[in-house]
Copies of this chain bind each other. A is one copy, B any other.
């Protein structure tokens, strides 16, 4: 008779509550789970017993019996986590955690090992979670779209795979935001507007370039020169040099406005421009994207697009919770951005 007279559990069990309240375990379970069909007196007695014993339900047992886990996975691709201090990531996680903190869901943070993607896949499919959140900028990270049919999944950022229009995602409107930035440049009288675009293998890179271009053609302006960077500061400086390649030192730059696809690159570009004696915003007005913490510390302070990343995270969690609950949230949720005017444009 194993365990018959073993040590008592470290924490009170539902059975102990039942005994204390003089009811059956089933009744206690009903009370704990908020069933309506319980007499007020019994409800009271059970709640008293719960309070008295300081009873806390055991998640594992509950999950096993109910076949629900009450856990949500937040998957962060390893590539993102390797990038030194990606400023996009933290606020998103916070937003998710904050929203989930108001529910009974628990957040499982998962660094998806790219070396063995099977591990993540099996974890998700192994009945360990009720749903998953995938956050990243990278196209290739969306290898999870296939799981969407087996498990509720919500993406942060538009899944790049065009044929999976049936997946859920919440995103910022990169295209519209880039338009806004560019239109602002136009509105302050700039006419030869260049851009430093980001990596073209991510939606963010693609869409921001596209937004810049369409704003210009819609304004009847010829799109200025384009250079490409990798979203890093160094690549921004390089791209700026390329943009200047045909200009002799001392000659005015071949553009008077510059939209840069993220702040890191903008910081590099501004430095490179200034090193050439180009005055900002006088000679070239610069608008960045992301509103990174350091944007306001640059000289001049950077005019940029602010992305409410925490809201994005909160939005993702919200959509997923509704999905799990069997509701039909919109497949596409857009979080608004705003232009922050500072000194660079």
Q: Which residues of A contact B (CB under 8 A)?
A: 10-11, 54, 56-61, 63-64, 69, 71, 74, 76, 81, 84-87, 89-91, 93-94, 97-98, 101, 106-111, 113, 122-123, 125-128, 233, 264, 267, 271, 292-294, 296-299
Q: Which residues of B contact A61 (CB under 8 A)?
A: 64
Knowing A74-B109, A297-B233, the reply to whether A56 touches B90 (Cβ < 8 A) is no
A113 B90 Cβ-Cβ under 8 A: no
Determine the distance from Cα of A109 to Cα of B76 in the docked complex, in whole angstroms: 13
A111 B90 Cβ-Cβ under 8 A: no
A111 B106 Cβ-Cβ under 8 A: no
Least CB distance, A20 to chain B, in whole angstroms: 18
Of all chain B residues, which has the CB nearest A66? B60
Q: Could you say which of B110, B125, B126 contacts A107, with CB atoms under 8 Å apart? A: B110
Knowing A60-B69, A89-B90, the reply to whether A127 touches B10 (Cβ < 8 A) is yes
Determine the distance from Cα of A264 to Cα of B296 in the docked complex, in whole angstroms: 11
A111 B128 Cβ-Cβ under 8 A: no
B111 A56 Cβ-Cβ under 8 A: no
Determine the distance from Cα of A98 to Cα of B304 in the docked complex, in whole angstroms: 33
B109 A97 Cβ-Cβ under 8 A: yes
B57 A60 Cβ-Cβ under 8 A: no
Q: Could you say which of B11, B264, B293 contacts A125, with CB atoms under 8 Å apart? A: B11
Least CB distance, A108 to chain B, in whole angstroms: 6
Q: Which residues of B contact A267 (CB under 8 A)?
A: 294, 297
A293 B85 Cβ-Cβ under 8 A: yes
B11 A293 Cβ-Cβ under 8 A: no
Least CB distance, A134 to chain B, in whole angstroms: 15
A111 B97 Cβ-Cβ under 8 A: yes
Least CB distance, A249 to chain B, in whole angstroms: 21
Q: Could you list some 19 contacts between A and B, CB below 8 A?
A: A11-B125, A11-B126, A56-B122, A58-B127, A60-B60, A60-B63, A60-B64, A60-B127, A60-B128, A85-B87, A86-B90, A87-B87, A90-B90, A97-B111, A107-B109, A292-B293, A294-B294, A294-B297, A297-B297
Q: Which residues of B contact A56 (CB under 8 A)?
A: 122-123, 125-127
Determine the distance from Cα of A93 to Cα of B125 in the docked complex, in whole angstroms: 24
B111 A109 Cβ-Cβ under 8 A: no
Determine the distance from Cα of A94 to Cα of B93 in the docked complex, in whole angstroms: 11
Determine the distance from Cα of A271 to Cα of B299 in the docked complex, in whole angstroms: 9
Determine the distance from Cα of A127 to Cα of B127 in the docked complex, in whole angstroms: 20
Q: Which residues of B contact A64 (CB under 8 A)?
A: 58, 60-61, 64
B125 A97 Cβ-Cβ under 8 A: no
Q: Which residues of B contact A74 (CB under 8 A)?
A: 109
Q: Which residues of B contact A84 (CB under 8 A)?
A: 91, 293
Determine the distance from Cα of A293 to Cα of B86 in the docked complex, in whole angstroms: 9
Least CB distance, A267 to chain B, in whole angstroms: 4
Determine the distance from Cα of A59 to Cα of B59 in the docked complex, in whole angstroms: 11
Candidate in A11, A71, A294 with the most chain B CB atoms within 10 angstroms: A294
Of all chain B residues, which has the CB nearest A91? B85
Knowing A89-B90, A293-B294, the reply to whether A76 touches B97 (Cβ < 8 A) is yes
